[in-house]
Chain A
Amino acid sequence: MTDVTSAASPPRSQWRDVWLQFRRHKGALVGGMVFLALIALVVIGPWIWQVETNPARLIRQRNQGMSLAHPLGTDQLGRDLLGRMIQGGKVSIAVGLVAMLIAIFIGTTVGVVAGYFRRLDGALMRVTDLFLALPLLPLLLVMVLLFRDTLSGLMGPEVGTFLLIVGAIGVTSWMQTARIVRGEVLALKEREFVLAARSIGTPPFRMILRHVLPNIVSPIMVSATLGIAGAIITESALSFLGLGFPPDFPTWGRLLYEGIDYLQQFPGRVIWPGIAISLTVLSVNYIGDGLRDALDPRARGR
């Protein structure tokens, strides 16, 4: 008998099943490839695509159209648009990823604590509701305006603005994650294995790390992907309103904002960054859609 069981197919891991299901979602697969390609472009791009930095030479090649030397043309100061797009993409995607990490960290912490410790539940959920009632975009604008100069003075304009924007977006977008995580934890707490773990005296902290968190990874992953998309859109909206990164520090939103002045003569300067933002967000949203299907065991195998 033992031979039969060992000869049967090897135990299937959960992540293999998830991957098999994810692969069947065409949109998610294409989205994943596009997103990886974009990340590769902005990471490897600066080494392959060298840009001219000497201002004297730059000014002679300003406002050029598309050519072999400058596939997307140059801007009013002669800077190569493709080079700036690559630079900007690095910042935009980094903002998306870091802001998502902050939001997920706060959201998961609040959600787990609220779901696990009944005494803190009411207070924490009240705070979550308060945050949900805040008008977020106006507050983000105000926060950026207030702290931009202070933080720029402390840490330099690039790092300061980056930390400010990432922190502001993270602090204002954790609420959905917290609600989802709390719901999952509440359901998980009633399960037998948690009772068993508690009966052998597992302390709460280890209980959360060993038994609760691994079981709520799926909803966290889904809201993480959607969080990247939201953060990228919010950052570019801030830059578009003129309250994002400083001018010499391009992001896709900033490039789009600068291109608006030349909309009539050179529409490409607005279109390319806009396409980059839309493509990134679209691919990330498709990944999230695919993950949601793949991580849901009820939908799997259908």
Chain B
Amino acid sequence: MLTYTLRRLLIAIPTLLFISFVIFLLLDLAPGDPMSQVPLTVPPDVREKMRIALGADQPMAVRYVLWLKQFFWVEPAHWMNATFGTHFAEGQQRILSWQSRSPVFDIIAQRIPQTLTVIGSSYVLGVLIALPIGIYSAYRKYSWFDQLGTFIAMVGFSVPTFFTGIVLIVVFSVKLGWFPSIYDTTLRVTDWSSFWMQVRQMAMPVTVLALYNAAQISRYMRSAMLENLGQDYVRTARAKGLSERVVVLKHVLRNSLIPVVTVIALGIPTIFGGAIITEQVFKVNGLGQLLITAIHGSDIPMVQTLTFIFAVLIVLFNLIADILYGILDPRIRYD
């Protein structure tokens, strides 16, 4: 298991290098100019100096290696300094956003809490909804509950999240006025009334994403349960006289959760991608919204870093899912 993990980690390094290079190449073709937001009254020679100051005049290979150094060495060093008070990589330039001229990672650190509260809680809620539904629809296969669950799941992943979000806004914000349609990130939870405010503004985005995630996970849960319910060990457990409750919720559920847990782990990075749209609908200024504004403003360092972070998350959670699978299911041997 350990050798397998180490080997996978070693393979991940060239994979990530290649992905970062692809992203860099793609962005290098961008017609966007870091000076496009500088007023036209600034003379051309000053513009040129500003471009040089940003490092935009260097050849591509130099900028790529510089970016790699900043991402893998300077930024972690800065993080160490901030956390443990050390003095690594002092005075070295960090990755700067072309839009705001401040370090990219500082802006990302400001945005992460919003994304994690909204997207994270919706994923947890989605999983909590999906598991019981999946278990019960498999146990009562082809019952009205199962049919209804299948239909809702089908609708759940067919209807795009931006449409469900807008329908919720029309019904609950415009018509009924129950929830605010815009997420207010300046809100600080200090007492019960501000906590209630936070719950209200989170209600709609969380519902949208939770439904979407629950639709998919409940299907996986159902098919995993169905596969196990027909197994011989279930008949044995029943023949021993165990109660249905113990048979289903202990024997079958534990075995069925193995593939589902890996699916849940695999889904974590994709929720960041899906969050781009939901954050746009509800005006949550999280990571997705940061990416969109950076793309529109052709802020190349920001787009590069964010996209690469998404790629790292995908590779990381793929690895976690595979390792989890090996730990949970002793029949799987990677060596």
A positions within 8 Å CB-CB of B: 27, 129-130, 132-139, 141-143, 145-147, 149-150, 229, 233, 236-237, 240-243, 256, 260, 263-264, 267, 270-271, 274, 277-278, 281-282, 285-286, 289
Contacts of A243 in B (CB 8 A): 295
Are A143 and B26 in contact, CB atoms less than 8 angstroms apart?
yes
**Which residue from chain B places its CB closest to the CB of A150 in the assembled complex?**
B31
The answer to the question of B169 belonging to the interface, with a C-beta cut-off of 8 Å to chain A, is: yes
Contacts of B30 in A (CB 8 A): 142, 145-146
Of B159, B166, B291, the residue contacting A260 (CB under 8 A) is: B166
Chain B nearest Cβ from A156, distance in angstroms = 18
Contacts of A271 in B (CB 8 A): 167, 170
The answer to the question of B27 belonging to the interface, with a C-beta cut-off of 8 Å to chain A, is: yes
Contacts of A146 in B (CB 8 A): 26-27, 29-31
Chain A nearest Cβ from B268, distance in angstroms = 13
Chain B nearest Cβ from A186, distance in angstroms = 20
Contacts of A256 in B (CB 8 A): 162-163, 166
The answer to the question of B257 belonging to the interface, with a C-beta cut-off of 8 Å to chain A, is: no
Q: A27-B154, A285-B154 are in contact. List 20 more A-B contacts (CB 8 A).
A: A133-B19, A134-B22, A134-B314, A135-B273, A139-B307, A141-B292, A142-B295, A142-B303, A142-B307, A147-B29, A150-B31, A229-B158, A237-B277, A240-B162, A241-B280, A241-B292, A271-B170, A274-B163, A278-B155, A285-B158
**Which residue from chain A places its CB closest to the CB of B160 in the assembled complex?**
A233
Contacts of B154 in A (CB 8 A): 27, 282, 285-286, 289
Chain A nearest Cβ from B286, distance in angstroms = 14
Interface membership of chain B positions 302-334, coded 1 if the CB is closer than 8 angstroms to chain A and 0 otherwise: 010011001100110010000000000000000
The answer to the question of B15 belonging to the interface, with a C-beta cut-off of 8 Å to chain A, is: yes
Are A133 and B311 in contact, CB atoms less than 8 angstroms apart?
yes
The answer to the question of B195 belonging to the interface, with a C-beta cut-off of 8 Å to chain A, is: no
Can you list 11 A-B contacts (CB < 8 A)? A134-B314, A139-B307, A142-B26, A142-B303, A146-B26, A146-B31, A241-B276, A241-B277, A260-B166, A277-B160, A282-B154
The docked-state distance in angstroms from the alpha carbon of A237 to that of B280 is 11
Question: Per DSSP, are chain B's interface residues mostly helix, strand or loop, or mixed?
Answer: helix
Interface residues on B, range: 35 or more
**Which residue from chain B places its CB closest to the CB of A265 in the assembled complex?**
B174
Chain B nearest Cβ from A164, distance in angstroms = 13
The docked-state distance in angstroms from the alpha carbon of A115 to that of B197 is 56
**Which residue from chain B places its CB closest to the CB of A144 in the assembled complex?**
B295
A146, A243, A289: residue with the most chain B Cβ atoms closer than 10 Å: A146
**Which residue from chain B places its CB closest to the CB of A141 in the assembled complex?**
B295
Chain A nearest Cβ from B148, distance in angstroms = 13
Of B29, B158, B273, the residue contacting A138 (CB under 8 A) is: B273
Contacts of B306 in A (CB 8 A): 138
Given contacts A141-B295, A233-B160, A270-B166, contact A135 B307 (CB under 8 A): yes
Chain B nearest Cβ from A260, distance in angstroms = 7
Are A263 and B29 in contact, CB atoms less than 8 angstroms apart?
no
The answer to the question of B23 belonging to the interface, with a C-beta cut-off of 8 Å to chain A, is: yes
Are B158 and A130 in contact, CB atoms less than 8 angstroms apart?
no
Are A134 and B159 in contact, CB atoms less than 8 angstroms apart?
no
Contacts of A274 in B (CB 8 A): 160, 163, 166-167
Are B167 and A237 in contact, CB atoms less than 8 angstroms apart?
no
Are B163 and A135 in contact, CB atoms less than 8 angstroms apart?
no
Are B291 and A138 in contact, CB atoms less than 8 angstroms apart?
yes
The answer to the question of B79 belonging to the interface, with a C-beta cut-off of 8 Å to chain A, is: no
Contacts of A233 in B (CB 8 A): 160
Nearest first, the 8 closest Cβ-Cβ pairs linking A and B are: A135-B310, A274-B163, A282-B158, A278-B159, A281-B158, A137-B273, A267-B170, A138-B307
